[in-house]
Amino acid sequence: MYNSKIIGLGFYVPDNIVTNDDLTKIMDTSDEWVQERTGIKERRWITEGSDDTTATMGAKAAKIAIERAGIDKDDIDFIILATLSPDYYFPGPGVQIQHILDIKTVGALDVRNQCSGFVYALSVADQYIKTGMYKNILVIGSELHSRGLDKTTRGRGVSVIFGDGAGAVVLSREENPKKGILSTHLHSQGEFAEELTVIAPAMGKRWVTDILKDNDPDDISYTPYMNGQFVFKNAVVRFNEVIMEGLLTNNLKKEDIDMLIPHQANLRISQFVQKKFALTDDQIYNNIMQYGNTTAASIPIALTEAWEQGKIKEGDLVVLAAFGSGFTWASAIIRW
């Protein structure tokens, strides 16, 4: 058995910044409301003529991760892509990324676990590497939310929260059993599937607003529904549980955490978790203020930024934790 470790990281976000004040021009909201409830100041949304898609953004992030890993693209043995906003209903963007990056015909797997998607994808990759089946796996989270949101006052409870972007890592074989991913922990509770959901798929590359023009404008089955307060209450409980589960599995204590990268759901949720684990501001990384909630992309974007800023060093205990639609929740305990 081997361990797996992250040897390269990258992220990509579209250039177009949408501030809370920009949103007040298209819906009834305010900078004060959004910041107070979520911590978000701005997010990236692609412009209408942009070529960015979930697949192209994922490929851009992946290219950086491969370069930083110092390997050739054809050293990649497998691709795992997590998203809830694929370019097509099928196939998933994993195969598009294989094509865009001109990687040889390795397997490409798509993971559908929303905000927990990246940690689920990382866990799957970890198992393949542990067994020796693959050596280098590209793990990507990418989301293009802005095409699928209801940006009128009707959808404001959801649309202000989400942003576009992608993050990626190269996970590789590690011979030292005390380094790399120590354990991962995955959970679900389908009982609450309808508390945060999109009923109908956003098909193809059309904007949801265009689909709605051709259909019944009151049909909200194409846009996300979220029972915000219920999600909040469950999220804080599950974040705590799944982090503790990871620490206990490895005989670690909360004092051992050097860096917690929580899924960027809402700054208030992150602050709640920070308090619960008595972490200093240097022991948790948040960037929801700049990017909003990018679902499966939020952890790899935050992890990459924290690493770029020198906040993660060799030997550090890094904890990833996520909660989201499903409900699903997950953690990964990593010795960097």
What are the catalytic residues?
115, 263, 293
Shortest reach from residue 104's CB to ligand ACO, in Å: 35
DSSP secondary-structure letter at 205? T
Q: Is 102 exposed, middle or buried (0-12, 13-18, 19+ CB in 10 A)?
A: exposed
The residue at minimum Cβ distance from ligand ACO is 228
Q: CA separation (Å) from 41 to 83, 173, 263, 278?
A: 24, 39, 17, 25
Q: CA separation (Å) from 22 to 9, 147, 273?
A: 31, 17, 30
**For the packed helices 93-100 and 54-69, what is the interaxial angle rounded to 10 degrees?**
50
Shortest reach from residue 106's CB to ligand ACO, in Å: 30
The DSSP-derived string for 86-135 is -SSSSS-HHHHHHHHTT--S-EEEEE--GGGHHHHHHHHHHHHHHTTS-S
Shortest reach from residue 309's CB to ligand ACO, in Å: 23
CA distance 204 to 227: 27
Q: Provide the token pair at 324.
A: 């989201």
Closer Cβ to ligand ACO, 136 or 298, answer by number: 298
Half-sphere exposure (Cβ direction) of 329: Cα atoms closer than 13 Å: 22
Shortest reach from residue 111's CB to ligand ACO, in Å: 16
Bridge pairing between strands 78-82 and 136-143: parallel
Shortest reach from residue 158's CB to ligand ACO, in Å: 7
- Phi, psi (deg, nearest 5) at residue 158: -115, -45
Shortest reach from residue 156's CB to ligand ACO, in Å: 4
For residue 19, how many other CB atoms are within 10 A of its CB? 13
**For the packed helices 31-38 and 267-276, what is the interaxial angle rounded to 10 degrees?**
30
Shortest reach from residue 30's CB to ligand ACO, in Å: 6
Site of tokens 């927990």 = 116
Closer Cβ to ligand ACO, 38 or 287, answer by number: 38
Site of tokens 């797997």 = 109
Q: Across-strand partners of 323? A: 329
Q: Is the dihedral of CA 81, 57, 137, 259 positive or negative?
A: negative
Residues that bind ligand ACO (CB under 6 A): 29, 33-34, 37-38, 115, 156-157, 160-161, 196, 226, 228-229, 231-232, 235, 263, 265-266, 269, 293, 323-324
Closer Cβ to ligand ACO, 86 or 180, answer by number: 86
